[in-house]
Structure 1
Amino acid sequence: MSGADTVTDAIVAGSGAGELEDAIRASKRTKRDRNSAFQSPTAEGLCSNCGTELSGPVCHSCGQTADSFHRPVWELLAEIFDGLFGFEGRMWRTIPPLLYRPGHITRQYLSGVRARYVMPFRLYLTASVLFFLVVFGATNIGAPDVPSPEEMAAAQEATAAELENARQQMEANGIDTSELDQALAAAEAGQDALTEVANDPVLQAAREESWKRNAIDGVRVVLVPELYPELVEEFEERSDGRVSDGVIELEEGFSVSLGEDVSDMPLEVRRFLANQAISVINDDGQMMQRELKTWIPRVMFVLVPVYGLLLAFMHFYKRGYFFYDHMVVSLHFHAFLYLFLLVTMVLSAIIGPGWGIVILLVWSNFYLYRIHRRVYDHGRFSSALRVITLNFAYTILLAIGTIVALFLAFLSG
């Protein structure tokens, strides 16, 4: 560098944040370039984009790589993936220290060491997309945690086995087993009935249809009772008049309460909510599940700058720290969370979910503690106190975000 043109020197130096790798790969492809009908509009040795004379593999004026794209299509596809995810270098220099050296990359990046690492926003997008692809592909969000008839039958079978074992012990000790025999017979009868239900699709369909009908009637009674006076009368008889308080009983032991203020809403709003709820019931929540897959990533994306605002609020008195710095911390921390959650899922499958959760909680909190120590230069006690405060605030934000995502998925569905 001559030092005479600071802007030019900065451009040439800054081109190393990706262009240098492109240029190296371009030089390796020189011998494989194909003859093409589309030739550069400039003479050889001049930049095809701006016409500046080239002094290296990267144009020092516009930053374009002196490369030809006349090569096999799979190489172009590989470059697309590399452009999105940085597979060929920077991603793999970023992920390991991001996971296992808390605050190191953030401190490096904010100090100006950037060319070797993936940009924070791209890193966050890659981690979040990968996480939600795995989670949404491996789980069925929105499915109710209700035991299936097969599970109920298995539980009944286990109960019968326990009763049989107890009967044998009582016989060995000379104790009358007549009452236990009756209980065992009832359990075996129940097992037969449950097995029949589990294997009879007609009975299953009838049971599901009955539950849906009761649920839909209950929604209508609570939200739009003036449109269904006969249903209101029926439910009041069945639930001891509690319909007027916004409480209905769909079936024995299962009630729904929406509060006394439901009737204060405009009829059109209540009608819309009722139609949405009925749609969710009719399709077994499948539409809402699909909408959740859309809204959860969006809500989590909104929480990233909110977390940055929390960090900024906690450090408003420290000079030299800007909102940009807090946003880099937030992006790196959320990218770490997504990637480490994937690691925890693998560990949970190997050592059990309990230990996986313990590892996640311990390492994520220690990670946040080290960020405050390394990036913000806080003391031990101050860092620990800030971790506790951030955990409390972020838990509330996650709860609010979850409710918002569920509500938006409900409205969209």
Structure 2
Amino acid sequence: MSASASPLAACENCTAALHGDFCHQCGQSAHSPVRSFGHAVEEVFESFWHLDGRIFRTLRQLLLPGRLAASYLAGHRARYVPPMRLFVILSVLTFFVARLAVHVDGGTFIQQTATPPEVPGAFQDATSSAEVEQVRRALVAPLAQSRQAMPERLRAPLDTAIEKVEKQAVRRNQELAAQPAGVAATAPVAVKPKAPPSTGGHSKPVQIDGLPDFVNHWLDGKAAAIRKNLPRVSENPQLAVNAFFSSVPSVLFVLVPLFALLLKVFYLGSGRLYLEHLVVALYSHAFLCVGLLGVLLLSMLGTPLAGIPGADILIGLAIAGVLVWMPIYLLVMQRRVYGESWLVTSLKFTVLGWLYFSVVTVATALLALASLANI
């Protein structure tokens, strides 16, 4: 098959005479993908090359805060990739790369070694300072290991957990020291709990007051799936990571319209329609995807450049720069699009950002649980 074909005189779709690369009657391209191998390849990557390089022009404008959104809303649409298409491309690409870049080993976040023999299960069972120390080490070791493997900004919950264990150890040692000399500490008598009613082979079913029975039944099924999948996740946490990143683009299709609704509420007097706010929301999230993609690619450079002195420092500074620039970009974009003063824009940006961050935090937690159920 030849790589090219002679130009057509008439449109193959409506038979109208052709006077250019597209039919003026129906809009179909004059280049047939079944007659030219080059155009067949271009058809696959239409969003990137066949649209006269619009994807590259769009990305260049996207990197300038608010430039692309303001231009698109002003009516200059032909030169750019539509916001929905751009968002879909970037979100799918970003979280595909995230699955490749983020790796979690089974021994990194989950302690897989058995509890050492003769170590009491709780501080209240310890009858001497030596046993208290054994318990303390057994509890702190996996927490410290996980803390070491996590980024600095995510270590706060583990620091709190370690501090709590240390306080419990000190409290138990004080209790043991306060006992009269020669009196052996006695462990509390264990009371056998009453067996729960049978629930079909698993724990008590989910029952939330106010929700319909079918919703509680659905939640109970998800809870059972999570319990069933936990052993697999313990052995291979990467399963949960992959499931999480695979689900993020779908969740964004709910969060982006919600962000547009918040913009509509905060800018009621702007005279803009909801769909115009949706354009701003789509371009905002498209840029966030670009920023996250940059962070992921920079982090992936750490392995091949590990032997170069100072490379890790430069990569760390570059990642920090991207993370700092992302909220600044969104602030400048919001002011450029809506045209209000810096003071008013900053106030709205702070409150809006706090509300949306709260929603994203809840959505992330729910998505993490849903990912465990859908492995």
In the alignment, structure 1 residue 314 sits paired with structure 2 residue 266: yes
Superposition map of 1:249-268 within 5 A: none
Q: What is the CA distance between 1:327 and its match in structure 2?
A: 0.7
1:40-91 CA-to-partner distances (Å, cap 9, x unmatched) read: xxxx733222232334332222112223445453541233113467686111
Determine the structure 2 residue equivalent to 1:184. none
Task: Say which of 91, 98, 123 aligns to 1:135.
Answer: 98
Q: What is the CA distance between 1:119 and its match in structure 2?
A: 1.0
Determine the structure 2 residue equivalent to 1:118. 81
Distance in 2 (CA, whole Å) between partners of 1:409 and 1:328 is 29
Distance in 2 (CA, whole Å) between partners of 1:77 and 1:107 is 33
Determine the structure 2 residue equivalent to 1:295. 247
The SS at the match of 2:29 is coil
In the alignment, structure 1 residue 362 sits paired with structure 2 residue 345: no
Determine the structure 1 residue equivalent to 2:199. none
Change in Cα spacing, 1:84 to 1:404, as seen in structure 2 (3 Å) is farther
Contact between 2:229 and 2:372, CA under 8 Å: does it hold in 1?
Answer: no
* Amino acid across the alignment from 2:78: A
Give the number of equivalent residue pairs. 275
* Amino acid across the alignment from 1:316: L
In the alignment, structure 1 residue 108 sits paired with structure 2 residue 58: no
Distance in 2 (CA, whole Å) between partners of 1:386 and 1:294 is 32
Determine the structure 2 residue equivalent to 1:323. 274
* Amino acid across the alignment from 1:103: G
Change in Cα spacing, 1:373 to 1:263, as seen in structure 2 (3 Å) is closer
* Amino acid across the alignment from 2:85: R
Contact between 2:291 and 2:323, CA under 8 Å: does it hold in 1?
Answer: no
Q: What is the CA distance between 1:397 and its match in structure 2?
A: 1.3
1:266-318 CA-to-partner distances (Å, cap 9, x unmatched) read: 99876873463133214535654443233222112211111111111111122
Larger Rg: 1
1:350-373 CA-to-partner distances (Å, cap 9, x unmatched) read: 545653453234311221111122
* Long gaps (5+) in structure 1: 1-29, 36-43, 151-236, 247-257
Task: Say which of 219, 226, 231 aligns to 1:276.
Answer: 226
Distance in 2 (CA, whole Å) between partners of 1:261 and 1:384 is 47
* Amino acid across the alignment from 1:395: F
Distance in 1 (CA, whole Å) between partners of 2:189 and 2:82 is 59
Determine the structure 2 residue equivalent to 1:60. 24
The SS at the match of 2:328 is helix
Distance in 1 (CA, whole Å) between partners of 2:50 and 2:18 is 26
Change in Cα spacing, 1:362 to 1:276, as seen in structure 2 (3 Å) is closer
> % of aligned pairs identical?
29
Distance in 2 (CA, whole Å) between partners of 1:31 and 1:286 is 44
In the alignment, structure 1 residue 401 sits paired with structure 2 residue 363: yes
The SS at the match of 1:32 is coil
Distance in 2 (CA, whole Å) between partners of 1:241 and 1:354 is 53
Q: Scaled by the length of structure 1, what TM-score is found?
A: 0.57
Determine the structure 2 residue equivalent to 1:169. none
Contact between 2:34 and 2:40, CA under 8 Å: does it hold in 1?
Answer: no
Contact between 1:103 and 1:371, CA under 8 Å: does it hold in 2?
Answer: yes
* Long gaps (5+) in structure 2: 114-186, 197-202, 303-310
Contact between 1:33 and 1:70, CA under 8 Å: does it hold in 2?
Answer: no
Contact between 1:120 and 1:328, CA under 8 Å: does it hold in 2?
Answer: yes
**Deviates most, 293-302 or 381-390:** 293-302
Change in Cα spacing, 1:129 to 1:291, as seen in structure 2 (3 Å) is same
Distance in 1 (CA, whole Å) between partners of 2:276 and 2:208 is 47
**Deviates most, 401-410 or 374-383:** 401-410
The SS at the match of 1:112 is coil
Change in Cα spacing, 1:334 to 1:240, as seen in structure 2 (3 Å) is farther
Higher relative CO (CA 8 A, sep ≥ 6), structure 1 or 2? Answer: 2
Determine the structure 2 residue equivalent to 1:33. 5
Superposition map of 1:127-166 within 5 A: 127-140=90-103, 145-146=108-109
Change in Cα spacing, 1:79 to 1:264, as seen in structure 2 (3 Å) is closer
1:146-185 CA-to-partner distances (Å, cap 9, x unmatched) read: 38899xxxxxxxxxxxxxxxxxxxxxxxxxxxxxxxxxxx
Contact between 2:58 and 2:81, CA under 8 Å: does it hold in 1?
Answer: yes
Q: What is the CA distance between 1:326 and its match in structure 2?
A: 0.6
Distance in 1 (CA, whole Å) between partners of 2:90 and 2:333 is 19
Change in Cα spacing, 1:275 to 1:120, as seen in structure 2 (3 Å) is closer
The SS at the match of 2:28 is coil
More helix by share: 1
Change in Cα spacing, 1:88 to 1:79, as seen in structure 2 (3 Å) is farther
Distance in 2 (CA, whole Å) between partners of 1:74 and 1:406 is 43
Contact between 1:86 and 1:118, CA under 8 Å: does it hold in 2?
Answer: no
Determine the structure 2 residue equivalent to 1:94. 58
The SS at the match of 1:375 is helix
